[in-house]
Chain A
């Protein structure tokens, strides 16, 4: 009886072309290196089975200082190192150019789209105003439009949308259909879209979610010789289709000119 009911449901779904993601078996995994954007971190690439999938929306999520920017910049650096071009939609203008250069990013091949950078005056003004378009909502709205333009232009290997500093309340106001539209735009393209946020937002079916937890690593046992040596980042990879799952530790070093 249960089998009959299931067969009926599957038939109905198939008739409405809704069967691909719900009822059929997952597509056979064929590992194609060209369909992945490697991050050039051997342990992480092994865990990701090659890298971030092209044509999919992946995301990096974690709290502050968990290594989100480090991995995003690493993905950009790996792409530009291969001669491809990348784009960073920097919603709140937070990229440190020296850090990016130290991470190996070929800056000539990185399209940097700078969002709103807030000074002390605008911070106070934001608190006083109730106009959402002037605050983080407006900045995120423009960033999403910029992301859409970049993705539609095609040709970028890696496009990163940085929402790491967006307030949680603002992120909740982004309609979920936004991410479906983004996914639709990059479907079939060579672009790996990467979303950096404090929490998972897109939950794309074909993309990967990297949940990060990290802490700073200090060197030196006395105040006089102590310095920031780097960060230990734990990456938990979550794939909605269970294609890739696992956890890996990544050590990042501080490139400090001091």
Chain B
């Protein structure tokens, strides 16, 4: 059985919801002033339906709410009765059609009202509980629980009134196929509501939850090693909580309350980690937090640790039988955090070519390979550009010096004949073969020597057998080795 609790205008929705949750966790907030409570299992705790309704009304009155309570076998019947009758209304299961028989047809408009349970002050005008029989202009009612086009004009109540129908019983008695022929499926849905039938099962409203854990330490701790134990203790219940709610962490917040040596000065060291994918593995989260704190350590001892996460729906993973598994986001995140700690910021990731003729130009971005390769014809959203597999001839690669190496080049009649350098491992030698020059320039419009270039490039094979790419800066006449063809 279900109880519909309908509060008077101006009532606090939060208070109403709290009253309902005092009785049952299965509560559906179906309006700004109305909740449905599932009474199944409450009989042994409170007594029969009348007792429960009385308790509901009394508890609400204790918190300053004036409510109507209607108990029926279906939610639809309970809501209709609560809107129509003041006080407490009890209808035994199976008696709903008879109880709804004489109710006004306009009551069906309650199913069209906006459903804003979390905005209790949303202005709207439902029926006044104390003056339920006041005539009013009907809205554009349509079945709220069954999807249909929102802008499709459907005004059944004036239509039904023109047919001579005045009560819900009049509508309920009509032949269903005739209603469907004239009003379509929405008309059938309205008729089901008039009979007190529920369009679907109750979906309880879940309260907003905070995913946060905190621990006050008796003695301040210094260093990351003792902190790791504290983080483990905090993250494990947090992870379990996330798992119960099928949520993952999108952002991990670590807030460390620090106490200075004088024991009085306090400050907060706060770090936030954007996670590449929703995750809730406590060990992974702890490792990521610790690696981040290694890079950004707190400046003083810690006496309070707060860990919070921004929840997001859990990740659904479908593995493939045909593709090799890739590392999970948790593994990749941990790997990237460890590599960043080892090699430095911006030293690990995926390279991206940039739209520039500047030699050696590239950018770095986060390494996120995604899932396995897709067939370009499959129409999937993650189709990658697949290089031409027909080109089975390897392309010669260049080993590029990120900073070109200064070289001494002997030039004879405009061509280099000898290249030497002070760099260890680049001994140089006589030029055996050469090609060039190729003139390149760019960035001259920026007037910045760092980003502009103008040079003559040469490919040279030296007597040691190695082939180099060298260039001469035209403005300084200085020679550099750009890379080795390897």
- Which A residues form the contact surface with B (CB < 8 A)? 40-42, 63-74, 77, 81-85, 93-115, 117-120, 123, 142, 145-146, 149-150, 153-157, 164-165, 167, 190, 215-216, 218, 220, 223, 226-228, 230-231, 250-255, 258
Contacts and interface: CB of A to CB of B under 8 A. Distances in A.
A167 B424 contact: yes
Contact of A154 (B327, B362, B424, B465): B327
B162 interface: no
Nearest to B362: A97
Contacts of B324: 83-84, 155, 157, 190
19 contacts: A65-B486, A70-B394, A70-B486, A81-B389, A95-B399, A96-B399, A97-B360, A99-B395, A105-B387, A112-B351, A113-B343, A114-B347, A120-B403, A120-B405, A155-B327, A190-B324, A231-B396, A252-B393, A258-B457
Nearest to A74: B394
A218 B433 contact: yes
Contacts of B164: none
A65 B353 contact: no
A219 to B, nearest CB: 9
Given A70-B486, A107-B351, A111-B367, A94 B395 contact: no
Interface in B320-354: 323-327, 331-332, 334-335, 338-339, 342-343, 347-353
B399 A253 contact: no
Contacts of A216: 433, 459, 461, 467, 485
Given A65-B484, A81-B389, A104-B391, A113 B466 contact: no
Given A106-B387, A231-B396, A253-B395, A153 B353 contact: no
- In the complex, the 7 A-B pairs of residues with the closest C-beta atoms, listed nearest first: A83-B373, A155-B327, A104-B387, A117-B402, A119-B403, A97-B362, A96-B400
A153 B396 contact: no
A107 B353 contact: yes
Contacts of B396: 67, 70, 99, 228, 230-231, 252-255
B349 to A, nearest CB: 7
A111 B395 contact: no
Interface residues of B, number: 69
Given A69-B399, A165-B425, A252-B396, A63 B466 contact: yes
B221 to A, nearest CB: 28
Contacts of B348: 111-114
B461 to A, nearest CB: 5
B350 A110 contact: yes
Nearest to A150: B335
B485 A231 contact: yes
Contact of A109 (B352, B369, B397, B485): B369
Helix, strand, loop or mixed for chain A's interface?
A: mixed
Contacts of A149: 335, 338-339, 342
Contacts of A156: 327
Contacts of A98: 353, 360, 362
Interface in B353-410: 353, 360, 362, 364, 367-370, 372-373, 384-389, 391-403, 405-406
A220 B434 CA distance: 11
B394 A250 contact: yes
Contacts of B388: 104
Contacts of A71: 394
Nearest to A105: B387
A172 to B, nearest CB: 15
A233 to B, nearest CB: 8
Most chain B CB within a 10 A radius of its CB, from A69, A111, A165: A111
Contacts of B373: 82-83
A115 B402 CA distance: 11
Contacts of B486: 64-70, 164
Given A85-B369, A110-B350, A216-B433, A103 B338 contact: no
B384 A108 contact: yes
B73 interface: no
Contacts of B261: none
A233 B314 CA distance: 51
Contacts of B349: 111-112
A164 B399 contact: yes
B423 interface: yes
Contacts of A223: 415, 434
A83 B466 CA distance: 34
A253 B350 contact: no
B483 interface: yes
Nearest to B327: A155
Interface string B287-303: 00000000000000000
Nearest to A225: B435
B438 interface: yes
Most chain A CB within a 10 A radius of its CB, from B385, B394, B405: B394
Contact of B435 (A77, A167, A226): A226
A15 B93 CA distance: 81
B182 to A, nearest CB: 57
Contacts of B347: 113-115
A198 to B, nearest CB: 9
A153 B395 contact: no
A104 B403 contact: no
A46 B103 CA distance: 86
B402 A40 contact: no
Interface in B424-475: 424-425, 433-435, 438, 457, 459, 461, 464-467
Contacts of A145: 342
A256 B287 CA distance: 45
A120 B402 CA distance: 10
Contacts of B400: 94-96, 99
B466 A64 contact: yes
